[in-house]
Amino acid sequence: MPPLNCALRYVLAGNGLLLQAWREHINVLVVLASYTVRGLPPLEPYLSTDLPRISPELLRQMLEICHKQRDEKGEMLEVIFHFLVEGGKWRMVVPEQEQGHTYCRPVGRGEESYRQALLEIHSHHHFPAYFSETDDLDEQGGFRFLGVIGDLFDKPQIRLRLGIYGHFIPLPATFLLALPEGLEDALSGENVNLPVNRPGSVGNAVTNRLWPIQRWSKIWKGWTGSGKGQRCYEVRTGGADDAL
């Protein structure tokens, strides 16, 4: 396949329609629709990054800030965080923002850190860690990692995905986060199909799992790599293909 000379492109291959996208630190090729195209070679999907994992200390700071977000009546407010990379290290920003019980959005100077952020995380305080339809609509225009925190006072969890201009790829949190004790990956407790260990894998992100991608066909995903330097999260089509 020729080198990518634009931000993203759609590719027709022997295994279906794929989306390839690139920005600094993120390189991805993912299947959007799985089917057999005779006469074309298949392409192996992937997601790779050279970003370090965000430290447990920084994530604990984020949780402490989440717990303090209350209105004048003591009711919990949502809060948004932007994570930027400077000199190869993560920096967490709590941007200028509007906050409510069920929403948060950057405003004013907060929009500058939004444009630079490689990861955006927001809280759902008492509610589960899931991406709502509102989140999907709000996150149509960016290419970055996205996270949501929930169940702050019961069993704190975080859910991670990659957003590519309205396409969303669910990911194990440990792909990007070194989770502190007391913060769990929301995906780890879900009823996923066919877990199969892969050699050379580490932690909760080491299993092949059949997970649905929103609005797409189901895909295989598994972790490879030692956790140092370049990491690759393979994305493999699962289930029967339809032939063209």
Q: What is the pLDDT of residue 110?
A: 77
Phi then psi for residue 179, to 5 deg, are -65, 130
Q: What is the pLDDT of residue 190?
A: 62
Contact partners, residue 125, CB within 8 Å, separation at least 6: 66, 69, 76, 77, 78, 150, 152, 153
Examine the domain organization and report whether 77 and 43 are in the same domain.
no
Examine the domain organization and report whether 28 and 112 are in the same domain.
no
Examine the domain organization and report whether 66 and 125 are in the same domain.
yes
Helix (H) or strand (E) run with residue 46 in it: strand 46-49
Q: Is 52 helix (H, G, I), strand (E, B) or coil?
A: coil
Examine the domain organization and report whether 85 and 13 are in the same domain.
no
Q: Which two tokens mark 79?
A: 């809060």
Last residue of a domain, one of 160, 175, 190: 190
The number of C-alpha atoms within 13 Å of 54 and in the hemisphere containing its C-beta is 26
Q: What is the pLDDT of residue 233?
A: 46
Q: Which two tokens mark 85?
A: 């990379």
Q: Tell me which residue has tokens 């702050």.
A: 152
Ranges in the chain, pLDDT < 50: 191-244
Examine the domain organization and report whether 61 and 122 are in the same domain.
yes
Examine the domain organization and report whether 4 and 87 are in the same domain.
no
Examine the domain organization and report whether 88 and 207 are in the same domain.
no
Q: Residue 222: beta bridge partners? A: 234
Centroid of chain to Cα 180: 18
Q: What is the pLDDT of residue 195?
A: 26
Residue 70 sits in a domain whose CATH number is: 3.40.140.10
- Total domain count, the chain: 2
Examine the domain organization and report whether 105 and 199 are in the same domain.
no
Identify the domain containing residue 117 by its residue range: 51-190
Q: What is the pLDDT of residue 223?
A: 34
Q: What is the pLDDT of residue 167?
A: 92
Examine the domain organization and report whether 203 and 92 are in the same domain.
no
The predicted-structure confidence for 135-172, as pLDDT tens digits, reads as follows 898 888 889 999 999 999 989 999 999 999 999 999 99
Examine the domain organization and report whether 183 and 89 are in the same domain.
yes
96-102-106 Cα angle (round to 5):
20
Examine the domain organization and report whether 68 and 173 are in the same domain.
yes
Examine the domain organization and report whether 86 and 140 are in the same domain.
yes
Last residue of a domain, one of 190, 213, 236: 190
Phi then psi for residue 74, to 5 deg, are 85, 5
